[in-house]
């Protein structure tokens, strides 16, 4: 580890050392066996033990580690311990590291697609010596609006944004500047949401960069109030649903169970009743909770037809391009047979268990 720290200091790139320490924090956190992949007999070293070792071994490299830990560690007592030890030593640290506590976030941009499956937050981070970093965080609204990936680029946010805008050929993707307190609200809520293990996806930088992203969030101003979900507008849900069922498109779906099914579908994924991506619909119809026992099977089997009618109606209401609507309908058609087969198989299993219970 000390060799890695030495190399990071020699490169003069702050992100090397910051990323290393964030990975250390992730590896010593409880319930992170995926990062460590230990054998059943191994017990991960705790962060407090590691800090004790750094305190005892007084060299420039451990001073650098402690200087980063005093900012990135979430525990106040451990942060104070690191701070006291760094202050006690007289090692010559680069200014960005010696004054890491003076780091700030000066700009936030949200990259979004019109269908609302996810947002990418770009955050401009400036170190005390004037060096710039850009923190890129992807928030997946199809996965509980949790952080799905995050990484840092050693470039100013303006440069990253210019490249991203020049490379963007999608007319439905936009880049919008947001207030820092608004960006903080979105990021803080996303960081608080922990995905079930089966939904977790690892990358080269996530969740290893979690501590670093959490630190960046702490640098940002806090809003006075937060919204429940970025893309949810519950006020319009009853209106669009009622308008649909009152329209010619909704005439074939007048059973109460159809309303229950549609309400359940709207709640899933982004929770937006007006925007339906192919990805959202595939997850919805392939999900483990597709079987809704509160609705009779015959009506559940009609769900693809219900969505095939409702999605174009919703997109017409919100002005979504026809091409995106066609992609959404094609996704429904692709998975409809599999959805119905899964429902019938689930019903058959339930019936089989009921017969066994009666026999017993």
pLDDT per residue, tens digit, the chain (360 aa), is 899 999 999 998 999 999 999 999 999 887 544 444 444 434 456 899 999 999 999 999 999 999 999 999 999 999 999 999 999 999 999 999 999 999 999 999 999 999 999 999 999 999 999 999 999 999 999 988 999 999 999 999 999 999 999 999 999 999 999 999 999 999 999 999 877 665 677 888 999 999 999 999 999 999 765 444 444 444 445 689 999 999 999 999 999 999 999 999 998 889 899 999 999 999 999 865 565 677 899 999 999 999 999 999 999 999 999 999 999 999 999 999 999 998 898 888 877 765 555 555
Look at the chain and report how many structural domains it folds into: 3
Q: Are residues 120 and 202 in the same domain?
A: yes
How far is the C-alpha of 37 from the C-alpha of 30, rounded, in Å?
Answer: 13
Query: Residue 279: inside a domain, yes or no?
Result: yes
How far is the C-alpha of 136 from the C-alpha of 108, rounded, in Å?
Answer: 10
Q: Are residues 21 and 125 in the same domain?
A: no
Annotate 162-174 with b (16+ C-beta within 10 A) or e (fewer).
Answer: eebeeeeeeeeee
Q: Are residues 85 and 137 in the same domain?
A: no
Q: Are residues 181 and 261 in the same domain?
A: no
Report how far apart, in Å, the C-alpha atoms of 211 and of each of 23, 136, 193, 207, 217 are. 8, 14, 15, 9, 10
Q: What is the pTM of this model?
A: 0.86
Q: Are residues 209 and 110 in the same domain?
A: yes
**Token duo for residue 340:** 């119905």
Query: Residue 170: inside a domain, yes or no?
Result: yes
**Residues 10-60: pLDDT tens digits?**
998 999 999 999 999 999 887 544 444 444 434 456 899 999 999 999 999
Report residue 150: phi and psi, to 5°: -160, 145
Domain final residue pick, 77, 100, 123: 100
Query: Residue 227: inside a domain, yes or no?
Result: no
How far is the C-alpha of 39 from the C-alpha of 154, rounded, in Å?
Answer: 36
| Residues 142 and 270 sit within 8 Å (Cβ to Cβ) | yes
Domain final residue pick, 169, 186, 218: 218
- Residue range(s) defining the domain that contains residue 63: 2-100
**Residues 73-118: pLDDT tens digits?**
999 999 999 999 999 999 999 999 999 999 999 999 999 999 999 9
Q: Are residues 331 and 251 in the same domain?
A: yes
Helical pair 47-56 and 14-28, crossing angle rounded to 10 deg: 130
Query: Residue 223: inside a domain, yes or no?
Result: no
Query: Residue 225: inside a domain, yes or no?
Result: no
Q: Are residues 77 and 133 in the same domain?
A: no
Residue 319 in 3-state DSSP?
coil
Domain final residue pick, 46, 65, 100: 100
């Amino acid at each position: 580890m000390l060799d890695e720290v030495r190399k990071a200091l020699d490169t003069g790139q702050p992100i090397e050392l910051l990323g290393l320490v964030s990975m250390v924090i992730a590896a010593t956190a409880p319930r992170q066996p995926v990062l460590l992949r230990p054998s059943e007999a191994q017990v991960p070293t705790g962060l407090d033990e590691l800090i004790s070792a750094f305190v005892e071994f007084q060299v420039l490299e451990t001073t650098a580690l402690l200087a980063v830990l005093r900012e990135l560690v979430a525990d106040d007592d451990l942060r104070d311990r690191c701070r006291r030890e760094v202050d006690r030593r007289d090692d010559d640290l680069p200014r960005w590291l010696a004054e890491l506590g003076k780091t700030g976030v000066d700009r936030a941009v949200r990259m979004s697609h019109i269908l609302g499956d996810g947002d990418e937050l770009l955050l401009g981070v400036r170190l005390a010596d004037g060096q710039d970093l850009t923190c890129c965080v992807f928030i997946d609204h199809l996965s509980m609006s949790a952080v799905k990936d995050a990484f840092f680029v050693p470039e100013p946010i303006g440069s990253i944004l210019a490249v991203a805008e020049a490379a963007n050929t999608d007319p439905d993707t936009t880049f919008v500047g947001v207030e820092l307190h608004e960006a903080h609200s979105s990021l803080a809520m996303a960081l608080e949401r922990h995905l079930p293990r089966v939904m977790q996806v690892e990358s080269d930088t996530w969740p290893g960069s979690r501590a670093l992203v959490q630190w960046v969030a702490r640098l940002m101003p806090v809003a006075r109030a937060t919204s429940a979900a970025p893309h949810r507008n519950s006020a319009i849900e009853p209106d669009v649903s009622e308008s649909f069922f009152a329209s010619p498109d909704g005439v074939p779906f007048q059973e109460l169970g159809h309303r229950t099914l549609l309400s359940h579908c709207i709640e899933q994924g982004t929770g937006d009743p007006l925007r339906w991506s192919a990805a959202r619909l595939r997850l919805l119809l392939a999900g483990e909770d597709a079987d809704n026992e509160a609705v009779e099977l015959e009506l559940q089997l009609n769900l693809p037809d219900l969505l095939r009618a409702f999605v174009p109606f919703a997109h017409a209401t919100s002005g979504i391009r026809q091409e995106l609507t066609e992609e959404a309908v094609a996704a429904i058609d692709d998975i409809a047979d599999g959805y119905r087969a899964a429902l019938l198989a689930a019903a058959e299993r339930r019936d089989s268990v009921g017969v066994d219970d009666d026999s017993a």
